[in-house]
């Protein structure tokens, strides 16, 4: 068995769960690309960001198996999509299908992918039940604003533990203020912030210097945020990890 280095960068959720302080995104990632990263990944913990909408849950499972990276060292993030909530099937059935496709018996983190579905508060109540059953360790949301999170709490008495958001670069002052309001709100409610596309997407990332990317990740980590990296290059991933470590 490969001798993995200990990865010590962690974030702690409101309930005391400890997770790595970054995730590897699987959006548009092929089985071969993910398998290659996992084969060369040197650390003993890795968080994978998956979603039904990405359409590659089975490919993720195959990549893990082919890479020989220990599955019990992976923290899985999954997301339930709007189309799943509108399908007429139970939330439980949708989750069980995701678990089957990922080849796992339970999931570490499960998020509502967006608030587009009008009945998201009912979905939230179902996630609370599934968490109590032990099928989900941590429940949260993605791309939810203050109003939507407050609605969840009003309907259930339970706040999300994680909110995964996208922070775009080159946005208006009003949009910047909304993002800062959301971040402040989440911090006040002890909702962990996870930043998807911390560099603003692949096209913008290409235009940033190494110093700008390093500064971005260092600052995010100092704020105790986690990041999702969409890279398909193991060298880029390891460089990002080194920059995160600067914020420890």
Residues 6+ apart with CB under 8 A from 168: 175, 200, 201
Of the residues 19, 54, 76, 117, only one is catalytic, namely 54
User: Any catalytic annotation for residue 120?
Assistant: no
Report the catalytic residues.
Answer: 54
């Amino acid at each position: 068995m490969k001798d993995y280095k200990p990865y010590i960068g962690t974030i702690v959720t409101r309930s005391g769960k400890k997770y790595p302080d970054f995730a590897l995104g699987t959006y548009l990632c092929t089985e071969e690309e993910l398998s290659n990263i996992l084969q060369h990944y040197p650390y003993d913990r890795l968080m994978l960001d998956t979603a039904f909408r990405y359409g590659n849950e089975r490919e993720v499972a195959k990549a893990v198996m082919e890479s020989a990276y220990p599955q019990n060292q992976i923290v899985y993030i999954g997301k339930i999509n709007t189309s799943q909530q509108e399908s007429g099937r139970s939330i439980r059935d949708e989750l069980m299908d995701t678990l089957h496709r990922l080849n796992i018996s339970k999931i570490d983190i499960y998020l509502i992918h967006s608030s587009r579905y009008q009945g998201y508060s009912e979905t939230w109540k179902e996630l609370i039940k599934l968490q109590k059953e032990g099928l989900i360790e941590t429940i949260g949301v993605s791309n939810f604003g203050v109003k939507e999170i407050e609605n969840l709490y009003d309907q259930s008495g339970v706040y999300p533990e994680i909110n995964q958001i996208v922070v775009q670069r080159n946005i208006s002052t009003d949009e910047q203020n909304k993002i800062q309001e959301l971040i402040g709100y989440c911090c006040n409610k002890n909702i962990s912030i996870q930043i998807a596309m911390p560099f603003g997407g692949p096209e913008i990332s290409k235009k940033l210097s190494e110093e700008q990317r390093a500064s971005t990740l260092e600052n995010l980590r100092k704020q105790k945020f986690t990041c999702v990296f969409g890279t398909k290059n193991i060298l880029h991933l390891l460089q990002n990890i080194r920059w995160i470590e600067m914020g420890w």
